[in-house]
Each structure stands twice: as structure tokens, then as C-alpha cells.
Structure 1
Amino acid sequence: MNVNRFARSVMAKSYDGESFLLHVAEVMERQLKEWDAAYEVVVMKLIDYEVVIKKENRSYELLLTEKDLLLLQQTSPYALDRYLWQAFEKQGLPIVRGNGDYIESMI
């Protein structure tokens, strides 16, 4: 999967935090489904945001405060993606490299 840096830059500046997180989660799910159609990404909000990646009987979970979300969004257009991918990789999510520049830009 390849990235469109200009479009993402516009989104990072114009979307509210939750809309931006939902967009990033959708992009991540598209990437994961390129590797295996069984992946699913779920975003929930109670007090903080919870991002969950599911595949069959395995799940990877991450809590994200609204403050951290906004800080990452303001840092750079792909800071949130990078943060999420690295956190999930540390939890054991297998990352496939070499299929486009999206993952290579994040990890």
C-alpha cells in the first residue's frame, strides 16, 4: 500500500481528533487486510480511546488519551500511524514489509 502525503497533511490539519483517528484506523485495516482478510480494526471511546486489532482468536489492544491523540496529530501527518504500528508490533503483531511505502514509512 502506498501513501498520499499531501492528502494526509490536509487531513491532519483539518480533521478533529476522533475523525482523524477513525481515518488512521481505516487505513491500518486496509493495510492489514492486504496481508490477511481476517484482520479487523475496532475503535471505541469510553474515557479514552481504545484501538483493537483482531484476527481470529488473537487481539492487540491500545489505550490512547484524547490529549495524546491531539499531540500526535499535531506532531506530523503520520505520527499517529507510526505510534500505533510500533505499539502493536511490540505486542507481537506481525508486520509484513516490502509491499508499498506505507509500512516502510511507519516502522
Structure 2
Amino acid sequence: MNTNAFFRSTMANNFATRRFFKRVASDIESQLKEWHIDYKVTVETWRTYALCVQNGEKMYHVALSKNFVDILQHETPYALDEALWKGLFNQGLELEDATGNYLDAALNFHQYEKQFSLKNVK
């Protein structure tokens, strides 16, 4: 999946926290669906900001406070992506071959390759 850093930066600076969280969740869902169409992603933005990913019987859940999401949104354009992916990795999500620049922008792979069991990641 590809991403445009200029547009993401514009969104991070101009979107409300809820809208930005939903946009990031949508990008994560798009990347997951490139690997397997059966991934299902649900988002909650009420009391906590939560991302739930399901593939078959495997389920991953990452919840963040609104204040933390707001801080990440204004830290860097991809800081929220990184926090959500890291939460998924910590629960055992494994990545497949990645094409495009999204994951390179969202993550610093050489940092995560040592911490998590990632397979076939560029």
C-alpha cells in the first residue's frame, strides 16, 4: 500500500481527533486486506479510541485514550499508526510481504524486526 506524507501531514494538522483516528484505522485496514481479504477491522471512538482486528478466530485489540491519540496525532503524521501497529505486534500479529511505502512511513522496520517476530517484511 502506498501513502502520501504531505496529505497525511495535512490531515494530522486539520482533522479532529476522532476523524484522524478513523482515517488511520482505515489505512491499517487497507494494508491488512492487501494481505488477506478476511481481515475485519472495527473502530470505537467513544470513551476510548479502540481498534479491533479479526482474522478468523484470531483477534487483536488496541485501546488508547483520546488524549494520547491527540498527542500522537500532533507528534508526527504517522505516530498513531506506529502505536497501533506496535500494539498489534505485541499481541502476536505477524506481517506478510509488504509493497508500497506505507509501512516504511508508519514504522521503522529495523527497530521492530529485532523486537517482534515479523516474517517476510522488507
Give the equivalent residue in structure 2 for 1:31. 31
Return the alpha-carbon distance in structure 2 between the equivalents of residues 86 and 29 of structure 1.
15
Deviations 1:41-69 (A, max 9, x none): 11113421221011111110011100000
Unaligned runs of 5+ in 1: none
Q: Which runs of 4+ in 1 moved over 4 A?
A: none
- Cα deviation for residue 104 of structure 1 reads 2.2
Give the equivalent residue in structure 1 for 2:116. none
Length-normalised TM-score, structure 1:
0.93
Indicate yes or no: 2:93 matched with 1:96.
Answer: no
Q: Is the CA contact (8 Å cut-off) linking 1:40 and 1:55 kept in structure 2? A: yes
Q: Percent identity?
A: 35
Return the alpha-carbon distance in structure 2 between the equivalents of residues 45 and 102 of structure 1.
23
Give the equivalent residue in structure 1 for 2:55. 55
* Higher mean C-alpha deviation, range 93-102 or range 52-61: 93-102
Q: How many residues align?
A: 107
Length-normalised TM-score, structure 2:
0.83
